[in-house]
Amino acid sequence: MPPVRGFWSMTLYDKEHFFHPNDLGRYSLGTKNASLQYNDDGSLTLYVGNTSPGAELETNWIPAPADVFSLYIRAYWGEPGITRGTWQPPAVAPQG
């Protein structure tokens, strides 16, 4: 998780840097999403893609366009890992 005292969010933008229209009306996920499902070890897996990861995982899914998009993490009231630049977000891993 991003080390923050406030909150964090991950937002998706399309190739023109606009929100990608989708049936869920969802453009970001973060600490303000009370329905996020955490893994048994406390970690969090977020899904980003053009197709649903499955109904049971959709609470952690941001619908994406089939082509180019970008992801931005915002961290509010960051702790030292953020402010000193020592925290790095996990790598984005393709699902296959």
CATH code, 8-83: 2.60.120.600
**Mind listing the pLDDT tens digit for each residue in 68-80?**
999 999 999 999 9
CA distances, 71 to each of 20, 37, 49, 56, 80 (Å):
12, 20, 11, 23, 22
DSSP assignment of 31-88: TT-TTPPBPTTS-B--EEESS-S-GGGGGGEEE--SS-EEEEEEESSB-HHHHTT---
Pairwise CA distance, residues 51 & 63, whole Å: 7
**Mind listing the pLDDT tens digit for each residue in 16-35?**
999 999 999 999 999 999 99
Pairwise CA distance, residues 20 & 75, whole Å: 21
- The pTM of this model reads 0.91
Using a 10 angstrom Cβ sphere, with 0-12 exposed, 13-18 middle and 19 or more buried, the burial of residue 46 is: middle
